[in-house]
Structure 1
């Protein structure tokens, strides 16, 4: 091959290589790093909270309380704020818990009391009376022993109907609901469910009653026996159920000494 032709081929090859290189271009630059947005600053203040579970009736010690940061927009009225009352922890020591606190729950002064008398007087609401009724330790008149402090119950009186007993010639027992939706303060000596307690039995149940209700219960215990009927949580606070209208009942056939006679129920 002639040298001139070889030179032309070399030039053409060099030109093609250059064209390919020019058409390919430089690789795209890497994307610029995105700066992370700064975390929003949450304004917080220190409030007094429970360091452990505080059941009703417990006398507070310094180890039961601690200061914890709390978002400013979540601080409610009644919280003990350190910047407003730096000695709140020391002042709370020695007080009695009127209503229990969970761990980490803010302390409210309304749920603390410094009793000058006994513990039961401290946890009673103003205007209420504590009345104890005798119960069966086997649970036969206290919902099988499943009634716990702070449950709501109805009080049922069982008594002997003297007139019906004389007419029938045998004991006739009747029952009547004397109070509805009352709060149980204590069962025996236990005033707060704690440590997974599910069944409590005791000889007495202490109820929180108004003065007039206390009179009703005191009289009912003298003329009969009392039982407690456990109410559902969904029923707590509902208005008293209306009394049922008297029902006409069929006559009862009583056989004594082989003689049959009809008696009203």
Structure 2
């Protein structure tokens, strides 16, 4: 055999050996990396948390079909969650409890959103310190029938002034509607509005006095529907001047022949 061929054969054998050695090292590194990754990734322990099994509107009652246990990461637990370790019989204990605020499927059940299981649903829906007061409405005075329970409204009083003038005053601002007639929740399909003759409002004690006086003074009380974006605004303002018998207020407007001719916060327009 010629020397050149021997050299070429030796080089080929050496190259094959180096390639095999390199492959073995790479495979060994992969195994080490996988083993290290498996040792680092550990499953976080979970705790069973009581959650809503379906969308629950205001006024509905909890039952075995509307609640279930869900595995929840232990590190993400929040004060107020009901767990199987702290309250193992919660599914039975909370049967019949009234939902005070809407809950969505998969949302943890919190005590702030539910009330006792008595038959007094309306008193259960009222937050501490609030009162439920009913006022008559119609399609004309209730935003065309589009006001639903849990909406926010302004209460506007219309009363006759001197001659053919009418005075309009906003006596309550951004108050919550608890019910329309006897309905305390929106229809399940959400396709129809609630047309009723009585609206029950959630008011403070001072607001309760104001609307009682306004009902005696007014020729008509109207509800003005507000945007859902106003839900976070304060709802404790009221026309307190009505309680003292004062007839002046920065929110009074004088209407004559369907036109605003004077407002107490601006000068009357020139005619």
The TM tier, using the shorter chain, reads: 0.7 to 0.9
Residues 132-176 of structure 1: CA distance to partner in whole angstroms, max 9, x if unpaired? 111113xx3223333222222111001111xx21xxxxx222211
SS at match of 2:65: helix
User: What residue number does 1:50 align with?
Assistant: 52
Gaps of at least 5 residues in structure 1 are 1-10, 166-170, 253-265
Q: CA deviation at 1:251?
A: 6.8
C-alpha change, 1:109 and 1:236, in structure 2 (3 Å) is: closer
Gaps of at least 5 residues in structure 2 are 239-248, 252-263
Q: CA deviation at 1:23?
A: 2.5
Larger helix proportion of the pair = 2
SS at match of 1:192: coil
Q: Matches of residues 1-265 of structure 1 in structure 2 within 5 Å? A: 11=1, 14-24=2-12, 25-26=15-16, 28-29=19-20, 30=23, 31-32=26-27, 34-35=30-31, 36=34, 37-38=37-38, 39-137=41-139, 140-161=140-161, 164-165=162-163, 171-193=164-186, 194-197=188-191, 199-224=193-218, 225-239=220-234, 243=250, 245-250=264-269
Q: CA deviation at 1:119?
A: 1.1
* Number of equivalent positions: 231
Q: CA deviation at 1:227?
A: 0.9
Q: CA deviation at 1:117?
A: 4.9
C-alpha change, 1:99 and 1:134, in structure 2 (3 Å) is: same
Q: CA deviation at 1:200?
A: 2.9
Larger Rg: 1
* Distance across 2 between alignment mates of 1:145 and 1:210: 25
Cα RMSD for the two superposed structures: 2.4
Residues 13-40 of structure 1: CA distance to partner in whole angstroms, max 9, x if unpaired? x322221222232161333062432343
**TM (normalized to structure 1)?**
0.78
Q: CA deviation at 1:51?
A: 1.2
